[in-house]
């Protein structure tokens, strides 16, 4: 544990681009598997009985991602704000599976909005990679307000939660306050969100853990190879890693995450209603 804390502190002192290069493989290995189960989720939700139906699903999935990309190109500020808002809602599902899930949005806001409030300049600089600087500053200021609201909201909702949930929220708030935004997100995404959602989806689909891992292995490997090829290309071309990698990673993440979140949320809602 001490080694882990020291490693995080060392990582926090590195430039943003270096943090991204070091964190990207970790996020890919530990974070992608739960998203790689999307086709298995679709098979449970929709009648994908033949190749034509499967191709239709893939087209709709990629079409949703393309719509997000179009929105990002047309109205980047609105797209960024909408993506952050829906991400907070999606992350709140990490705590809605309990009987005391009311108020779970506080957890999602601690994960997404609180680091914007505690590190406004760093986050505004990150946003400026993706949208015009004035828009980035405006979005960061708006999200920061929500971030500060997340603390009293978590305190009010926390008394109804279990000790485990309260402990996780305290750790999440401490991470958002003490760690740089990128490191905070990596710790939360890889350490809590991805494994919890993976277990939840595998359980909901009626799969064993081994079967879930096998189903996620091929898509995860393909994405990892694509990331390695893209990184090698950028390094070979001596491109500006700060701007190019940040834009590539975040915009691609946003575009592909939206259909993933919609799919997972639909599965959770339908299974909760049963």
| pLDDT digits 0-9 by tens, 118-143 | 999 989 988 887 788 899 999 999 99
Instruction: Write a three-state SS string for 113-179.
Output: CHHHHHCHHHHHHHHCCCCCHHHHHHHHHHHHHHHHHHHHHHHHHHCCCCHHHHHHHHHHHHHHHHC
Task: List the one residue out of 213, 156, 182 whose CA is nearest residue 36.
Answer: 213
Within a domain: residue 9? no
Q: Is 210 part of a structural domain of the chain?
A: yes
The rounded mean pLDDT for the chain is 79
Residue 79 lies in a domain: yes
Residue 60, in any domain of the structure:
yes
Q: How many domains does the chain contain in total?
A: 1
Domain-embedded: residue 6: no
Q: Which residue has the tokens 């750790």?
A: 171
> pLDDT per residue over 55-79, tens digit each?
888 888 888 888 888 888 889 899 9
CA dihedral 259, 130, 87, 35 (to 10 degrees): 50
Residue 7 inside a domain? The answer is no
DSSP helix, strand, coil percent of the chain (3-state; round to 5): 85, 0, 15
**What tens digit of pLDDT does each residue of 185-236 get?**
989 998 899 888 888 888 877 777 776 667 666 666 666 666 566 656 655 5
Please report where in the chains the tokens 């705590």 appear, as a residue. 95
Do the domain assignments include residue 274? no
**Which residue range forms the structural domain that includes residue 102?**
15-269
Average pLDDT over residues 24-32: 71
- Please say whether the beta carbons of 201 and 264 come within 8 A: yes
Of 44-53, 164-173, 192-201, which range is least confident?
44-53
- CA distances 165 to 78, 98, 99, 128, 132, Å, are 32, 9, 12, 34, 37
Q: What is the average pLDDT across 260-271?
A: 79
Residue 4 resides in a domain = no
């Amino acid at each position: 544990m001490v080694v882990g804390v020291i490693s995080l502190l060392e990582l926090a002192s590195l430039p943003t681009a270096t943090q991204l290069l070091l964190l990207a493989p970790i996020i890919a290995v530990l974070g992608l598997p739960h998203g790689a189960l999307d086709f298995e989720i679709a098979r449970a939700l929709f009648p994908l009985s033949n190749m034509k139906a499967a191709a239709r699903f893939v087209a709709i999935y990629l079409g949703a991602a393309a719509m997000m990309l179009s929105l990002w190109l047309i109205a980047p500020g609105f797209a960024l704000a909408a993506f952050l808002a829906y991400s907070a809602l999606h992350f709140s599902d990490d705590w809605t599976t309990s009987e005391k899930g009311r108020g779970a949005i506080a957890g999602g806001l601690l994960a997404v909005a609180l680091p914007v409030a505690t590190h406004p300049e760093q986050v505004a600089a990150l946003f400026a990679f993706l949208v015009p600087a004035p828009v980035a500053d405006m979005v960061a200021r708006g999200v920061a307000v929500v971030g500060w609201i997340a603390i009293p909201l978590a305190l009010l909702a926390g008394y109804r939660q279990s000790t485990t949930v309260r402990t996780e929220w305290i750790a999440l708030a401490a991470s958002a306050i003490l760690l740089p935004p990128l490191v905070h997100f990596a710790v939360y995404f890889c350490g809590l969100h991805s494994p919890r959602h993976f277990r939840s989806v595998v359980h909901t689909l009626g799969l064993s853990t081994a079967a879930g891992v096998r189903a996620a292995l091929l898509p995860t490997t393909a994405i990892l190879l694509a990331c390695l090829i893209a990184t090698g290309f950028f390094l070979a071309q001596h491109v500006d890693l700060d701007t190019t990698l940040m834009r590539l990673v975040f915009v691609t993440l946003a575009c592909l995450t939206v259909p993933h979140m919609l799919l997972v949320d639909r599965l959770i809602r339908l299974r909760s209603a049963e």
